[in-house]
Amino acid sequence: MPDKRKHRGPHPEDGRLFAVSQRPSLRLAVEEYAWLLTRGYAEDSALALVGNRHSHTERQRVAVRRSTCSDQSLHRRRQSERPLVRCTEQPLGIDGYNLLITIECALSGGVILIGRDGNYRDLASVHGTYRRVEETRPAVELISEHLEEAGIRSVDWYLDRPVSNSGRLKALMAEVVSVGRVRWNIELVDSADPVLAAYDGVVATSDSWILDRCTAWVNLASDIIEARLPYCWKMMMTL
């Protein structure tokens, strides 16, 4: 069936799956999963072990996975994190879909997970297809305004070319930011992950694979949400 969603909002079951009563087991699962990852256990088998122990649903397990990293990764990410205020004189590369979808979710009432590394992440997924929703333009405008007020002069925004509608999204973004003072270089690439992992500057992403490989990163989604959407649905996933 074609995707006819008009919003990037919560799943119908999220109110129950992430209710206050569920938080203790989810937070404990993150701690247990991190303990196993730190000791070299395979991700899938470790997640299955923890998820089965707490009788979590598939969506809850996805939340635990996205919110967790090993102690080694946590240490590296803390060492390489940079505040946005220190990005004004350096190249800033943005993981396009990663940031945009998180802000769309925050605008539409979706749950935003605060992970072990402090990153803000959503539970949406692209799976090769991106569909514009009512929050898309407001999200782009919000990001643009925030970067401008932070004193950012230019950004390199990377979108995955194989994801459908990437060209249309690029055109929309170019239209929105044409009136702003921040110069946006919007590129379609075969895969944004390796490009950003090797980026010569600071990277804005919450993607774990990139975070464990890039030279420096900024928690831009968190910065935007705390400054402009402080009352959105946020859930701390750590004890």
pLDDT, tens only, 157-204? 999 999 999 999 999 999 999 888 899 999 999 999 999 999 999 999
Class of the CATH-defined domain 83-233: alpha beta
Q: What is the pTM of this model?
A: 0.95
pLDDT, tens only, 12-56? 999 999 999 999 999 999 999 999 999 999 999 999 999 999 999
Residue 93, number of CB atoms within 10 A of its CB? 27
96-107 helix and 136-149 helix, angle to the nearest 10 degrees? 110
- Per-residue pLDDT at 3 exceeds 70: no
Task: Tell me if residue 221 falls in helix, strand or coil.
Answer: helix
Output the average pLDDT for the chain: 95
Consecutive H or E run containing 216 = strand 216-218
